[in-house]
Amino acid sequence: MPIDQYCVMGHPVEHSRSPWIHARFAALTGQNLEYTRRLVPLTGFAEAVHAFAAAGGRGCNVTVPFKLEAAQLATTRSERVRLAGAANTLVFDGGTVHADNTDGLGLVADIQQGAGVALAGRDVLLVGAGGAAAGVLGPILSEGPRRVVVVNRTPERAQALVQAHATVASLQKTELLAQPIQAPGADFDVVINATASSLAGEGVPVPATVLRTGGLAYDMMYGPAAQGFLDWATHHGAQARDGLGMLVEQAAEAFALWRGVRPPSGAVLAELRATMA
């Protein structure tokens, strides 16, 4: 019986733990599949997707910097993708490419269940306005925070992201606004770094005044790439958490889309943290 093929596409992609995670999901749920990494040229994403699908691939995850492009090339899109304009999960079926975005679901699950921090009624700072930020803002708003501020080095992108989500924010009675990255405000309950600054080894792009003592500072990166942000947050009295739990939770959502089976994400996250310790 042929083994169903899945992969993660990105640039870079060698750091990805997704193959290990999906191998454990498959083993624990009795699914017959293989999941690999694919390094894609910066100008060759669409070609790589179509080639993988034509070769029999069933689906793929998409990481930086291709999430916006993934949404654009799809033939059908989930409501989450239509809102975000970004996709991290593609499903191939009979020549069609369906795009979904499980990033926000994974982030919210890890913040609320993994870190034990409810988002309802809280003040949240989202740092970044690219594909990663776009993918999580809708699910964050759906939890009913009191206020969400978006900042980005390019202010116009932050403003565009806010405008795209204005209706959702209004329905939740959440104040949603874009602020200058140099003056984002202070004392947020939750600060989420959705930029690639950690991966690039750059400094934290916002001042430490955004942190509230005991508040949650969350980097969507994980492992060594997130360490600088985590050290910064801890030094300033915040509860620091990397994006490993988000990675596992979003992967579980993608796995369920592909296979129709919900894997045991909590057990796999515990295993993964143990292997990385």
| Domain edges within the chain | 4-100+246-275, 118-241
The dihedral over CA atoms of 158, 119, 269, 243, expressed in degrees to the nearest 10, equals: 20
State the fold for domain 118-241. Answer: Rossmann fold (3.40.50)
Q: Would you tell me how many other CB atoms lie within 10 Å of the CB of residue 182? A: 10
Check residue 219 and report its DSSP letter.
E
CA-CA-CA-CA torsion for 79, 83, 87, 90, nearest 10 degrees? 20
pLDDT tens, residue by residue, 110-134: 999 999 999 999 999 999 998 889 9
Instruction: List pLDDT tens digits, range 180-197.
Output: 999 999 999 999 999 977
DSSP-assigned letter for residue 144: -
CA atoms within 13 A on the CB side of 101: 32
Q: Which listed residue (37, 67, 77, 165) is catalytic? A: 67
Strands 4-10 and 188-193: what pairing?
unpaired
Please tell me if the domain spanning 4-100+246-275 has the same topology as the one spanning 118-241.
yes
16 is in an annotated binding site: yes
**Rounded to an integer, what distance in angstroms lies between the CA atom of residue 125 and that of residue 162?**
12
Q: Is 195 marked as binding a ligand?
A: no
Strand order in the sheet with 123-127: 175-178, 147-151, 123-127, 188-193, 211-219, 239-241
Residue 173 is a catalytic residue: no
32 appears as a binding residue in the annotation: no
Burial of 252 (0-12, 13-18, 19+ CB in 10 A): buried
Q: Would you say 94 is a known binding-site residue? A: no
Q: How many Cβ atoms sit within 10 Å of the Cβ of residue 98?
A: 18
18 annotated binding-site participant: yes
d(CA 221, CA 199): 7
Q: Which residues contact 72 (CB under 8 A, 6 or more apart)?
A: none
Give residue 233's pLDDT.
96
CA atoms within 13 A on the CB side of 35: 25
Tell whether 220 is in a known binding site: yes
pLDDT value at residue 2: 84
Distance, first Cα to last Cα, the chain? 37
Rounded to whole angstroms, what are the CA distances from 35 to 25, 46, 97, 106? 11, 19, 18, 19
- The CATH number of 4-100+246-275 is which of 3.40.190.10, 3.20.20.80, 3.40.50.10860, 3.40.1010.10? 3.40.50.10860
pLDDT (0 to 100) of residue 217: 98
Q: List per-residue pLDDT tens for the chain, 277 residues long.
A: 789 999 999 999 998 999 999 999 999 999 999 999 999 999 999 999 999 999 999 999 999 889 989 999 999 999 999 999 989 999 999 999 999 999 999 999 999 999 999 999 999 999 999 888 999 999 999 999 999 999 999 999 999 999 999 999 999 999 999 999 999 999 999 999 999 776 666 778 999 999 999 999 999 988 888 999 999 999 999 999 999 999 999 999 999 999 999 999 999 999 999 999 8
* 71 contacts 15 by C-beta, under 8 angstroms: no
Residue with the two structure tokens 């990663």 = 132
Cα separation, 56 vs 112, whole angstroms: 37
Give pLDDT, residue 200.
Answer: 63
